Structure 1
Amino acid sequence: MATELSETISMAKQERHKNLFLNYRNLNKFPVELLKDEGLQFLERLYMKRNSLTSLPDNLAQKLPNLIELYLHSNNIVIIPEAIGNLARLQSLDLSNNALQFLCPEIGRLRSLRHLRLSNNQLKCLPPEIGDLQDLETLDVSRNQLVSLPDRLHRCTSLQNLTADHNLLSHVPRQLCWLHRLNQLSMAANRLTFLPLDLGRSRELQFVFVDNNVDLKGLPSYLYNKVIGCSGCGVSAQVLEGDLGEVLGEALVGLPAEVKVLGSETDHVVPLEEIAMRTLHRIYQQRPTDLNLLPPITLPKSLLDLLQFPLGHCHRCSQTMFTIIYPKLFPLRDTALAGVHRRTTVSFVAYCCSSRCLRTFDLQG
């Protein structure tokens, strides 16, 4: 086997192969033949699926500087070296089915990376630096132990497909609603209790899968007429489906924790805190580029971040909302998706900024 491996690598060097297949070789160490002398300077794609590798060499980028695709699916890799960040041309990295417990921050230096697959590992968190991957199109972190996703993930402005099934996620970062190229979001089998109000507001987002989140009791109505999966979600068996259209409140809707006040149709005055936040948002969103015309006040960064990512937008008039919302339920059986998800009790929830918008909003219109 060793002789055959050496011959394969030797031939690849002599014939200047761009692709090298070392799958199913029972390798428990990275082949030293790949790292001898000048290495394989011309190699672009390296496939090492289903071996027994436990680590990667620190000089991988030095010896294989032109790698575009690196496939390490189904090994026993526990950690990847910080030097992984030196693979400047790398576009696709597959570390699925390994034993990763930690992902080094240097992953954020792979500025050419377009596809990152980390499914079926033991990751409990992702480094914030993953948000530096502005060319990233595909991110698969399913079947790990993640309890949250980095807030900076919204900086991955090219992201189109995000898969985070079978983790321990309790919420979806509001900032993900700003990923205007995101086409598919899959977060099935987590611990979600609510979804961001603005989820689905982008026209590009067409596929949302949140199946088997048993405490998820409401879907934002921006998802209406998109392809969604929500089987296994919804209220407990004690709540009758016939009551859904009549119930209005936090117990059933599963409102976000950020909502401090739940507005009712009898409330005609928006709280002063909400009015102030909306006014500041308009000032800072519409401020002119002329520095002499900037608002006369300076706000702390924490408040500026809140203004940048409001809780949601009114489904009726698109007004930004920060501390108060008016929810209106539309049972799933009354929507276009009723025939697809007959066994789920999840309802669509429209969120409005005032009792006036609440009365005039109609999901069917």
Structure 2
Amino acid sequence: MASELCKAISVARLERHKNLFLNYRNLEQFPRELLRGEGLQHLQRLYMKRNSLTTLPENLAQKLPNLVELYLHSNNIVVIPEAIGSLVKLQCLDLSDNALEIVCPEIGHLRALRHLRLANNQLRFLPPEVGELKELQTLDLSANRLLALPERLHLCLSLQCLTADRNRLRCVPRRLCQLPSLSELSMAGNRLAFLPLDLGRSRELQYVFVDNNAHLQGLPSYLYNKVVGCSGCGAPFQVSEAKLLAFSSGPLTVFLPAEVKAVGTEQDTVLPLQELVMRTLHRACSRAPKDLDGLSPVSLPRSLLELLRCPLGHCHRCGEPMFTIVYPKLFPLRETPMAGLHQGRTAVSFVACCCSAGCLQTFDLLS
């Protein structure tokens, strides 16, 4: 393996390759051959995914000065070193699925960076210097331990897609509403209790995913003509008129047929027994989370156990979790504040989820 590695690097040096693939090599440290002499001056893209790297060399920028893309997905890197800030031409940095606990302030020196992926790490905070990344278009912070997002993130004027699912966030910084290019915001599976009232005011913002925030009781009126809350895990999916009524929980996706519009009539006032049991069990486990961890497929079918851990959705009015049935409230575009911008359109523009027929009847557009 070592000889094959040296040979691959030597060939890349002699032939002045721009791309070098060192994935799945069981590397525990950066190859010395890669940093020997002047390094690889012509290299632009380095792929080192699925190795066992724990750190990056301090002279990385000196030896690989023309790197444009660096892929370090699925290693064991704990800290992004200060030296990363010297890779001034870097446009894409992928450090997903590592053991990152700290992102150094020097990350703000990467003024050409367009895509930064830090999902599935151990981050508790981001340095405010992230706001210096004026060219940043994509930022993925999913599955970390973030308690808050840096206020200066609103300075990333090119940011188009911000994903921060499955963290511990309690609020959305209001200044994020000022981002002129933001088209997709995904903060599913956090601890959000409210959203800024002007979130969605921008025409650019079209997709807002905030499902699985149990304490979130209402949505700003500007979101009523957007695609809202259909993603329970932040996974990408194709949106269409036919599939707008869709709810996801991990690998489980439920597409509701057109007949679901009839659910919640005056005659349909009793929830299914299975739904009542799931909600009761969920409330009990919420008071004692260790009880949920103790459940096994012996006590519940595997499909129901997975659903219990991550409900299909939550009521937009009271935050009640829903497992097997939802009561959709459909708002035609003409009823929304942005109706004047869409002349002649009267199609359904927003679907609010109610937890019962009674909730459906009392749901207020302005709540």
Could you tell me whether the CA contact under 8 Å between 1:214 and 1:233 is conserved in 2? yes
Deviations 1:106-156 (A, max 9, x none): 000000000000000000000000000000000000000000000000000
SS state at 2:152 partner: helix
C-alpha distance in 2, partners of 1:46/1:55?
A: 15
Could you tell me whether the CA contact under 8 Å between 1:135 and 1:157 is conserved in 2? yes
* Superposition map of 1:1-365 within 5 A: 1-229=1-229, 232-234=313-315, 235-237=318-320, 336-338=349-351, 341=353, 350=366
Could you tell me whether the CA contact under 8 Å between 1:220 and 1:348 is conserved in 2? no
- Please state how far the C-alpha of 1:229 moved relative to its aligned partner: 1.2
- Please state how far the C-alpha of 1:236 moved relative to its aligned partner: 4.9
C-alpha distance in 2, partners of 1:10/1:79?
A: 29
Evaluate the alpha carbon distance shift between residue 227 and residue 39 of structure 1 in structure 2; reply closer, same or farther with a 3 A threshold.
same
C-alpha distance in 2, partners of 1:79/1:37?
A: 26
C-alpha distance in 1, partners of 2:320/2:196?
A: 25
Could you tell me whether the CA contact under 8 Å between 1:164 and 1:188 is conserved in 2? yes
What one-letter code is carried by the residue in structure 1 that aligns with 2:40?
L
Aligned residues: 260
- Please state how far the C-alpha of 1:10 moved relative to its aligned partner: 0.2
C-alpha distance in 2, partners of 1:21/1:236?
A: 47
SS state at 1:157 partner: coil
C-alpha distance in 2, partners of 1:223/1:165?
A: 19
- Please state how far the C-alpha of 1:80 moved relative to its aligned partner: 1.8
C-alpha distance in 2, partners of 1:200/1:236?
A: 21
SS state at 2:108 partner: helix
Could you tell me whether the CA contact under 8 Å between 2:226 and 2:349 is conserved in 1? no
- Please state how far the C-alpha of 1:233 moved relative to its aligned partner: 2.7
C-alpha distance in 1, partners of 2:4/2:22?
A: 11
**Comparing 226-235 and 173-182, the one that deviates more:** 226-235
Could you tell me whether the CA contact under 8 Å between 1:218 and 1:349 is conserved in 2? no
SS state at 2:102 partner: coil
- Please state how far the C-alpha of 1:350 moved relative to its aligned partner: 4.2
Could you tell me whether the CA contact under 8 Å between 1:218 and 1:348 is conserved in 2? no
What one-letter code is carried by the residue in structure 2 that aligns with 1:115?
H
What one-letter code is carried by the residue in structure 1 that aligns with 2:83?
A
Name stretches of at least 5 consecutive residues in structure 2 with no aligned partner.
Answer: 231-311, 330-336, 339-346
Could you tell me whether the CA contact under 8 Å between 1:221 and 1:348 is conserved in 2? no
- Please state how far the C-alpha of 1:337 moved relative to its aligned partner: 3.0
SS state at 1:218 partner: coil
What one-letter code is carried by the residue in structure 2 that aligns with 1:134?
K
- Please state how far the C-alpha of 1:81 moved relative to its aligned partner: 1.2
C-alpha distance in 2, partners of 1:183/1:236?
A: 26
Deviations 1:193-251 (A, max 9, x none): 0000010000000000001000000011101121111552331559xx99x9xxxxxxx
RMSD, aligned CA: 2.4
Evaluate the alpha carbon distance shift between residue 348 and residue 218 of structure 1 in structure 2; reply closer, same or farther with a 3 A threshold.
farther
Evaluate the alpha carbon distance shift between residue 16 and residue 221 of structure 1 in structure 2; reply closer, same or farther with a 3 A threshold.
same
Name stretches of at least 5 consecutive residues in structure 1 with no aligned partner.
Answer: 245-314, 317-333, 352-365
Give the TM-score normalised by structure 2: 0.67
Give the TM-score normalised by structure 1: 0.67
